[in-house]
Amino acid sequence: MSNPDHPPAVGVLDQGPELIFPPGFLWGAATAAYQIEGAATEGGRTPSIWDTFSHTEGRVLAGHTGDVACDHYHRMPSDVRLMAELGLKSYRFSVSWPRVQPGGSGPANAEGLDFYRRLVDELLGHGIEPWLTLYHWDLPQPLEDAGGWPARDTAGRFADYAELVADALGDRVTYWTTLNEPWCSAFLGYGSGVHAPGRSDGADAVRAGHHLMLGHGLAVQALRASRPQAQLGITVNLYPVTPASDAPADVDAARRIDALANRFFLDPVLRGSYPTDLAADLREVTDFGHVRDGDLAVISTPLDLVGVNYYSRHVVAAPVEGAEPEPYWRAPSCWPGSEDVRFVTRGVPVTDMDWEIDAPGLTETLRRVHEEYTDLPLYVTENGSAFVDAVVDGQVDDGDRLAYFDAHLRAAHEAINAGVPLRGYFAWSLMDNFEWAWGYTKRFGMVWIDYDSQARIPKSSARWYAEVIRRNGLAAQ
Ligand code: FCB
């Protein structure tokens, strides 16, 4: 179905009716500093928690680290040319905190900032809108040594860092998001420990979540004061949470996981309060004594936009006797206070991450944020899939990834038709990269990276995406 508000432009189409996106829709692709830059010890950069974690035996698959990654630090100008060839309207990147403020406090490192100045200049020179994420998980190691995100002081350090980046780049960057996926930082980093810094304590995870949001609010206030024209937001990773059946115990399991995965962040940031059921669920874990008067007012400082990362759905059920413990994001330690909830596998197609493919969940998620929380413009700041790719005759034919993007863009379009003010979409990821605890074993890129030669090969999905951008839409099915 095409959008009646935005009829296809005459002459642009060479086949049938199309699904056309609103004029000015921001088509982009995303990456993150530690996943692509490499140059871990160059230009004054000091270690982050991900350097320490990846260099600790047994933490990252195959002992992979981000030391070299995609060598983007040295190849940035040609990478930006590649973005321009794909016709990207925007590029979402993250700034490495320990590159621009070694150690996480004190003065800026001019050489580190200069890398991002050059990146922004290259982007603008190619007509590509820079979209800057301040924190994509690379906390400077000394701040972790001083307590990390469970410590309140880290929030203040983050706001100082935000100010320093704003001073350097605020004249040229319009779009700013503070945190990427605070759920992952808090619950994978301090709950289950599968992400850096690899700690495992439910109460610390909950405190980390709070201090991340406090840091977000303080950073928004600092950025707003110094850059009143900037468009400010946060990126959260959201999941529809569905009960496996309508049995009350399953419905309650879904409520609990929804509280931890989604409402833990949406409610404080967009409503200025924690959900009351969350506090009740967590009563054995924490009394929320770390929340001080005034914190929620800071956390809910008004924003200009909300970024949503969407990958999959959680289907959950009440505990049964003798159920097998589940790995990774289903690990009980990710879900303090709900350790006994079962994550159910439905047997639908999955990606190479074992994440179920569920495009309608994107429509549902966007509608929920809009209908239950906010009228602010929404952006899909990440969406994508890992599949096992191969180079054959110099080409990478990634039809499964292309189909994933296609289905999710249709779902995004459906959300727009339902009234969601969705203003842009960023594919995850521009290129294959260091996929955290999975190292280089999972490929999410539209561009293939040969990690030996650092050659870049745009996959079929990249060529297809370039055409989507050119048309501002998709062919009708
Ligand atoms: C998200 C992260 C991103 C990438 C994708 C696959 O959780 O933000 O860095 O790892 O998942």
CA–centroid distance, 246 to ligand 1, in Å, is: 31
Q: Beta strand 391-392 with 395-396: parallel, antiparallel or unpaired?
A: antiparallel
pLDDT in tens, 408-438: 999 999 999 999 999 999 999 999 999 999 9
Q: Nearest-CA neighbor of 331 among 317, 343, 348? A: 343
Inter-residue contact 434 to 34 (CB < 8 Å): yes
Q: What is the pLDDT of residue 325?
A: 57
| Distances from the Cα of 305 to the Cα of 132, 178, 378, angstroms | 13, 11, 6
Q: Is residue 354 part of a domain?
A: yes
pLDDT in tens, 189-239: 999 999 999 999 999 999 999 999 999 999 999 999 999 999 999 999 999
For ligand 1, whether the C-beta of 382 sits within 6 Å is: yes
CATH number at residue 296: 3.20.20.80
Mutate to test the pocket of ligand 1, among 187, 188, 382, 408 (most ligand atoms within 8 A of CB): 382
Helix orientation angle between 264-271 and 202-226, rounded to the nearest 10 degrees: 30
For ligand 1, whether the C-beta of 237 sits within 6 Å is: yes
Inter-residue contact 54 to 47 (CB < 8 Å): no
CA–centroid distance, 51 to ligand 1, in Å, is: 17
Which positions ≥6 away from 221 have C-beta within 8 Å?
159, 298, 301
Note down the domain range covering 157. 17-475
Closest residue to atom 9 of ligand 1, CA basis: 32
* Confidence grade of residue 169 (pLDDT, cut at 50, 70, 90): very high
Q: Nearest-CA neighbor of 462 among 164, 94, 88? A: 88
pLDDT in tens, 95-152: 999 999 999 999 999 999 999 999 999 999 999 999 999 999 999 999 999 999 999 9
How many CB atoms are located within 10 Å of the residue 57 CB? Answer: 6
* Confidence grade of residue 326 (pLDDT, cut at 50, 70, 90): low
DSSP-derived secondary structure for 29-76:
EE--HHHH---TTSTT---BHHHHHHTSTTSSGGG--SSSTT-HHHHH
Q: Is residue 9 part of a domain?
A: no
For ligand 1, whether the C-beta of 436 sits within 6 Å is: yes
Residue 34: pLDDT over 70: yes
Ligand 1 atom closest to Cα of 436? Answer: 10
Residue 387 half-sphere exposure toward CB, CA atoms < 13 A: 23
Ligand 1 atom closest to Cα of 181? Answer: 8
CA–centroid distance, 33 to ligand 1, in Å, is: 12
Q: Beta strand 378-382 with 422-428: parallel, antiparallel or unpaired?
A: parallel
Assigned token pair, 432: 């294959």
The stretch 166-187 carries a mean pLDDT of: 98
Distance CA 116, CA 362 (A): 32
For ligand 1, whether the C-beta of 138 sits within 6 Å is: no
For the stretch 393-399, contacts whose Cβ atoms lie closer than 8 Å and that sit 24 or more positions apart, written own/partner, are 394/457, 395/457, 395/460, 396/448, 396/457, 396/459, 396/460, 397/459, 397/460, 398/459, 398/460, 398/461, 399/460
For ligand 1, whether the C-beta of 264 sits within 6 Å is: no
Please tell me the least confidently modeled range out of 180-184, 295-299, 337-341.
337-341
For ligand 1, whether the C-beta of 180 sits within 6 Å is: yes
Q: What is the pLDDT of residue 120?
A: 99
Q: What is the pLDDT of residue 9?
A: 42
CA–centroid distance, 136 to ligand 1, in Å, is: 9
Q: Is residue 119 part of a domain?
A: yes
Is-cis flag, bond preceding 107, omega within 30? no
CA–centroid distance, 382 to ligand 1, in Å, is: 8
Please tell me the least confidently modeled range out of 56-65, 209-218, 325-334.
325-334
Residue-averaged pLDDT of the chain: 95
CA–centroid distance, 123 to ligand 1, in Å, is: 22
For ligand 1, whether the C-beta of 184 sits within 6 Å is: yes
For ligand 1, whether the C-beta of 434 sits within 6 Å is: no
Assigned token pair, 161: 């860092």
pLDDT in tens, 360-373: 999 999 999 999 99
Domain tally, the chain: 1
CA–centroid distance, 191 to ligand 1, in Å, is: 17
Closest residue to atom 4 of ligand 1, CA basis: 435
Helices and strands in the chain: count of H runs, count of E runs: 16, 17
Residue 320: pLDDT over 50: yes
Q: What is the pLDDT of residue 405?
A: 98
Catalytic residue among 181, 356, 414, 435: 181
pTM, whole model, 2 decimals?
0.95
Q: What is the pLDDT of residue 477?
A: 76
Q: Is residue 12 part of a domain?
A: no
For ligand 1, whether the C-beta of 295 sits within 6 Å is: no
For the stretch 318-321, contacts whose Cβ atoms lie closer than 8 Å and that sit 24 or more positions apart, written own/partner, are 318/247, 318/249, 318/250, 318/252, 318/253, 318/342, 319/253
Q: Is residue 3 part of a domain?
A: no
Closest residue to atom 10 of ligand 1, CA basis: 435
Distance CA 442, CA 444 (A): 7
Ligand 1 atom closest to Cα of 353? Answer: 6
The stretch 281-302 carries a mean pLDDT of: 98
For ligand 1, whether the C-beta of 448 sits within 6 Å is: no
CA–centroid distance, 92 to ligand 1, in Å, is: 13
339 labelled catalytic: no
Assigned token pair, 368: 């929920």
Q: What is the pLDDT of residue 122?
A: 98
Catalytic residue among 37, 122, 382, 435: 382
382 labelled catalytic: yes
For ligand 1, whether the C-beta of 444 sits within 6 Å is: yes
